[in-house]
Amino acid sequence: MVEGLLHPLNIFIVGLGGGFLIPLFYRLGKSWTAAAFIVALAAMTLISGYALFVLLNGAAPTEILTGGAKPPYAINLRMGLAESFFAFSVNLVALFGVAYVARERYGTMLLYLLLVMGIQGMVMTRDLFNLFVFLEIVSIATYGLLGLRDAHAALSATFKFLMATVLASTFFLIGTLLLYATTGILNIDELIAKRASITGPIGFAALIFLLACLLLELKPFPANGWGLDVYETARSDVAAMISGGVSAGVFFALLKLLPLFEDQLELIAALGAMTFVFSNLIGLQQTNAQRLLGYSSIGQMGLLTIAAPLLYRLNADNAMFLVVGGLFINHLFAKVGLFWLAGYVGKERLQDWAVLARRPGAILTFGILIVAISGLPPFPGFWAKWQLVMTLAVGDLYVWIAIVLVGSLLEAAYMFRWFGLALNSPAEADGVSHGQADLFPIFGMALLLVVSGYVAGKLAGLAALWAYMPLAAGLVLYMLARLPSRVQYLIVLVLVTVGGGRLILELSGISFLFAMLLLAGGLVLSIACLARTDRRSGFYPLLAVMLLSLPALPRATTSLEFIFVWELITLSSYFLILQRTEAASHALQYLLFSLAAAFFLLCAFAVLHAQTGSVSLSALRVAGPDSAPVFVLLAIGLLIKAGAIGVHVWLPGAYAESDDDVSALLSAVISKVSIFGLLVGTYVAIRSDVSLNLALVVGWIGMLTTLAGAMLAARQDDLKRMLAYSSMSQLGYIVAAIALMSHLGWVTALYLAANHLLVKGILFLVAAAIILRTGKRSIVELGGLAGVMPVTFTAAAIAIVAMSGLPPLAGFGGKWLLLSAMMEKGWYGPALMTLLATFVGFIYMARFIQAIFLGPRKAAHDALAEAPISLLIPQTLLIAGIFLMSFFPKLLITPLSNAIDPQFASTLVWQGMSLEMIYGYWNPVPVMALAVIASTILFGLFWLLQRSGWWSAIANAEIGGTRSSLYKGLTTVFTVLTPPWAGALWGGLTEATTSSAERIRILYTGNGQTYNLYILYYFIALYAAAGGVRHLWAGVD
């Protein structure tokens, strides 16, 4: 009985029957109509859901026979796993959409019901002509729904849509007929079985007609202006159903007919690629929300059209479900949610979306949808893309991987720009026109994305629950957002300490040290957040996610876990930067460079997977000599993330413009993530043949970064920008140290990394204190603060000494180790550059102390007070760390050295030198004693010089000037030596991208007749590209 009620055929009975009954119920009363409508949709959802459930438990697909005859003599339909999955997802979305439709006239409900039923017909039918009929049912229902809006533009757009889809379905009808003429078959299974008999010019033309219709219905570039216009002008819930539902039906039809197009698989993928890349390119230039979503929708269909035929060609049946299913539901839930949100907001222009800014719930949902549509974790699109890239790599299809990633980057660019606008624009008076109830279906989509993301993650192979710990902590904090901010911070502290502790307990070696460093550093620096007590909406949840992701990264054992956590860090830090709304453009830059970096890592892991067949990170160590590409890709990605010279353009903005406490975390802690990645990645290089040359290249890049960073820092008047460039410079040292690929080099790298974390943490907190007290960021406006902020001054002085490499603090040890390691390896050039960079470093560091704390005090600064205790505590803790490292270096170096030893055991180039001998390089007592004496003498000389007045004669040619001419001369030199080539390069690239988008979109003239012509051209091009010209000759013979 229950089985009978839940038989898939009932979907059509309910759909059509409901359609007929709704007008009758309308006579009974309005509420009756709505109730019948909802019951019908719920019934369809239940039936398809039950089918999915049964099929997942291993039941055989249900065959639905009609007309009392067996196929091919009668139409049959099938409810298999894929069918039930598509049908259920579409039904579920349609059921949520009821919220917008049930208040309409009964005609609307009727059309909506028919539309949903038609889509399922397209999914389930196994008869070609029946497919045409369902396509027409869907189309006609769509035409009706599109008429809901009376605006002129909407009517014109609908007419364009009408003409185009009628043309496309005529193609389908002709294709079906020609196929019937050649084979006498309409049954799809039969046709696939007898694929070999479809030959000759007619058979070929038949296939191309069918293919043309399906592709055109998916709105391919450039024959898709009509689709865009409808997306732009339709009522948002109707546009949502076209984008999610109708496209799903058409795409499934294509999927089902793919075996027929075996000779055209690559052509289909190429057309998909064209659509994916160009839609997302033009999307960059959009200012209208729904049109932007239209470009994105079309792009997503392009992505599916790339994935399905390629995976089919590779016979990757296992990957097919995750990739196609994942991309499909990701697009369905996210895009439908975004369209509904567009309806809720009711603003056409992107910048007017700022009305969302003061609604935390809506903003969170918007964020989830944007992250999901960009294919980022933890949503299904991420797992699907991961699987897609891995599978394509196994098939050696690297060009396709590049296409997928470039398109994804473009899409992320405009999606996140939009998100930034929603937070950033000046507050507007007029709010959202719709009630809160309209938000619930959108929340539903976000929730579905979360759930399906978790399931897809399991399918992709992320079984570890710990990977979700950061997100879980974020969720807890989000629930508690009403508590006072200090209480929230304490909860963050507790959660991160407990969770982070659990994460690191099971680690050992370098992973343990790094996890410890990142966790402790993050926790200490986060204390500074207490300095602000204002409401920071979303800040604490994000902080929790980020602080917990940091120690989770070293925990990763597979490349999937690594990328997942990596993206969590990227996303959480991006949203943290975005907390300061003025930083929106810098945050976007940061995100895009980080995503590009992550894509390089993804490619590296894909190559590794193709070479070794493993996704385990330990595969890096057993990689063979041909793994040089892996190392190159990893190095490029990690150098981008580290802000190496040339790709450093994102760094100053992100570090300088974010909130002061976030800057400290970014520069001190998050920057170490790429260092950890480099250490992991270098294992590969040791084994591969070209490693030594590549390592030298990386070493030079590191040193150039150091030197350029130092010079740029010296030119800066902005306090935080100076520190940002200083960060870049210091990271260069670490990169160079890793590139040495010797035991000593690695010890140095870790030592320098720890030192930089401590030092830069202090300095950014010093900057935070100064900005908090004076409200000024420009160095020239400050001065003489040592008297009013003595503790801050002391902390800054200690940090500067420790960073500069002056004895007796840790920086000196770091430099000493670095120089020793370089000399040992014979890297005289880089060693020389280290000295040069150290000298340039002295200049900006001296200026930092001199201009801010010493010199004449500005009158306005007299009333200033010392920094708040919440900023001083972390500084004190960090200073304690510096002292510990400086005077008891063995405490750190011994575990470091031990951590490295086992991993190098088999491959180490390092010969014959015992640990004691390393300490010989850096045994603090005698070296330090000497250094202290030497510097005392130098200081004495300097003091004498100054006393005698010679110094000011040298340094201050202009008497009375605040800046010494020596400094001026040097900055001139630095300016000449650091031409803004990188900025020009990236600016030029951006300019070229947007202007090409601007030029390409002129294609879309808005004239429906022109669009018809495009469709005809598209068909002819498809025919020719598939090799149809050959058949024309044959016909002449």
DSSP state letter for 669: I
d(CA 513, CA 680): 13
Q: Is 516 in the site for other proteins (CB under 8 A)?
A: no
d(CA 687, CA 311): 32
Looking at this protein, which amino acid is placed at residue 601?
L
Residue 217: which residues within 8 A CB-CB, separation 6 or more? Answer: 135, 165, 168, 169, 246, 247, 250
The stretch near other proteins (CB under 8 A) out of 33-41, 368-376, 642-650, 1011-1019 is 1011-1019
The stretch near other proteins (CB under 8 A) out of 354-362, 863-871, 1012-1020, 1029-1037 is 1012-1020
- Binding residue for other proteins, selected from 71, 97, 144, 643, defined by CB under 8 A: 144
Cβ of residue 1009: shortest distance to other proteins, in angstroms?
A: 5
Q: Is 159 in the site for other proteins (CB under 8 A)?
A: yes
Q: Is 1031 in the site for other proteins (CB under 8 A)?
A: no
Cβ of residue 555: shortest distance to other proteins, in angstroms?
A: 48
CB of 56 or CB of 1016, closer to other proteins: 1016
Contact 420, 578 (CB under 8 A): yes
d(CA 57, CA 187): 28
Cβ of residue 1013: shortest distance to other proteins, in angstroms?
A: 6
d(CA 811, CA 808): 8
Question: What is residue 79's three-state secondary structure?
Answer: strand
CB of 953 or CB of 1016, closer to other proteins: 1016
Which of 501, 484, 587, 491 lies closest to 541 in space, CA to CA? 491
- Binding residue for other proteins, selected from 83, 232, 438, 567, defined by CB under 8 A: 232
Any bridge partners for residue 288, and if so which? 349
Q: Is 219 in the site for other proteins (CB under 8 A)?
A: no
- Binding residue for other proteins, selected from 45, 139, 236, 589, defined by CB under 8 A: 139
Which of 157, 174, 175, 129 lies closest to 231 in space, CA to CA? 157
Contact 234, 157 (CB under 8 A): yes
d(CA 393, CA 397): 6
Cβ of residue 831: shortest distance to other proteins, in angstroms?
A: 57
- Binding residue for other proteins, selected from 121, 225, 283, 761, defined by CB under 8 A: 225
d(CA 644, CA 731): 8
- Binding residue for other proteins, selected from 153, 933, 953, 1034, defined by CB under 8 A: 153
CB of 182 or CB of 886, closer to other proteins: 182
d(CA 454, CA 475): 15
Cβ of residue 176: shortest distance to other proteins, in angstroms?
A: 8
* Residue ranges in 706-765 that form contacts with other proteins under rule CB under 8 A: none
Long-range contact pairs involving 1023-1030 (C-beta distance under 8 Å, separation at least 24) = 1023/205, 1023/208, 1023/212, 1025/267, 1026/204, 1026/208, 1026/211, 1026/263, 1026/264, 1026/267, 1027/263, 1028/204, 1028/205, 1028/208
Residue 680: which residues within 8 A CB-CB, separation 6 or more? Answer: 617, 620
User: With 0-12 CB in 10 A as exposed, 13-18 as middle and 19+ as buried, what is 97?
Assistant: buried
User: With 0-12 CB in 10 A as exposed, 13-18 as middle and 19+ as buried, what is 873?
Assistant: middle
CB of 170 or CB of 778, closer to other proteins: 170
Any bridge partners for residue 935, and if so which? none
Q: Is 1005 in the site for other proteins (CB under 8 A)?
A: yes
Q: Is 133 in the site for other proteins (CB under 8 A)?
A: yes
CB of 160 or CB of 347, closer to other proteins: 160
- Binding residue for other proteins, selected from 160, 580, 641, 825, defined by CB under 8 A: 160
Q: Is 1028 in the site for other proteins (CB under 8 A)?
A: no
Contact 448, 89 (CB under 8 A): no
Q: Is 296 in the site for other proteins (CB under 8 A)?
A: no
Cβ of residue 442: shortest distance to other proteins, in angstroms?
A: 25
CB of 13 or CB of 163, closer to other proteins: 163
Q: Is 860 in the site for other proteins (CB under 8 A)?
A: no
- Binding residue for other proteins, selected from 76, 91, 125, 233, defined by CB under 8 A: 233
- Cβ-based neighbour number of residue 487 at 10 Å: 12
Reported as half-sphere exposure (CB side, CA atoms, 13 A), residue 57 has a value of: 5
With contacts defined by CB under 8 A, how many residues of the chain interact with other proteins? 45
CB of 76 or CB of 792, closer to other proteins: 76
Structure tokens at 212: 């043309």
Which of 721, 710, 725, 644 lies closest to 677 in space, CA to CA? 644
Distance of CA 496 to the CA centre of its chain: 24
The stretch near other proteins (CB under 8 A) out of 229-237, 428-436, 625-633, 906-914 is 229-237
Q: Is 1021 in the site for other proteins (CB under 8 A)?
A: no
- Binding residue for other proteins, selected from 219, 256, 291, 672, defined by CB under 8 A: 291
Backbone angles phi, psi at 361, to 5 degrees: -65, -45
Contact 530, 506 (CB under 8 A): no
Structure tokens at 589: 């830059």
Question: What is residue 149's three-state secondary structure?
Answer: coil
CB of 229 or CB of 561, closer to other proteins: 229
Q: Is 129 in the site for other proteins (CB under 8 A)?
A: yes
CB of 157 or CB of 664, closer to other proteins: 157
Any bridge partners for residue 975, and if so which? none
Cβ of residue 752: shortest distance to other proteins, in angstroms?
A: 52
Q: Is 535 in the site for other proteins (CB under 8 A)?
A: no
Binding to other proteins by CB under 8 A, coded x per residue (else -) over 961-1000, reads: ----------------------------------------
d(CA 542, CA 570): 11
Cβ of residue 674: shortest distance to other proteins, in angstroms?
A: 39
Binding to other proteins by CB under 8 A, coded x per residue (else -) over 83-122, reads: ----------------------------------------
Cβ of residue 4: shortest distance to other proteins, in angstroms?
A: 29
CB of 214 or CB of 550, closer to other proteins: 214
* Residue ranges in 162-201 that form contacts with other proteins under rule CB under 8 A: 162-163, 166, 170, 173-174, 176-177, 180-181, 186
CB of 225 or CB of 337, closer to other proteins: 225
- Binding residue for other proteins, selected from 622, 689, 1007, 1032, defined by CB under 8 A: 1007
d(CA 853, CA 869): 19
Q: Is 1012 in the site for other proteins (CB under 8 A)?
A: yes
- Binding residue for other proteins, selected from 1004, 1023, 1026, 1031, defined by CB under 8 A: 1004
How far apart, in Å, are the Cα atoms of 719 and each of 194, 323, 725?
A: 74, 47, 10
d(CA 154, CA 152): 5
Cβ of residue 178: shortest distance to other proteins, in angstroms?
A: 8
Residue 266: which residues within 8 A CB-CB, separation 6 or more? Answer: 309, 310, 313
Q: Is 63 in the site for other proteins (CB under 8 A)?
A: no
Cβ of residue 1003: shortest distance to other proteins, in angstroms?
A: 9
Structure tokens at 603: 């490619």
Cβ of residue 241: shortest distance to other proteins, in angstroms?
A: 17
* Residue ranges in 266-285 that form contacts with other proteins under rule CB under 8 A: 285
Q: Is 16 in the site for other proteins (CB under 8 A)?
A: no
Q: Is 870 in the site for other proteins (CB under 8 A)?
A: no
Task: Name the site residues for other proteins (rule: CB under 8 A).
Answer: 129, 133, 136, 139-140, 143-144, 147, 152-153, 155-160, 162-163, 166, 170, 173-174, 176-177, 180-181, 186, 225, 228-229, 232-233, 285, 291, 1001-1002, 1004-1009, 1012-1013, 1016
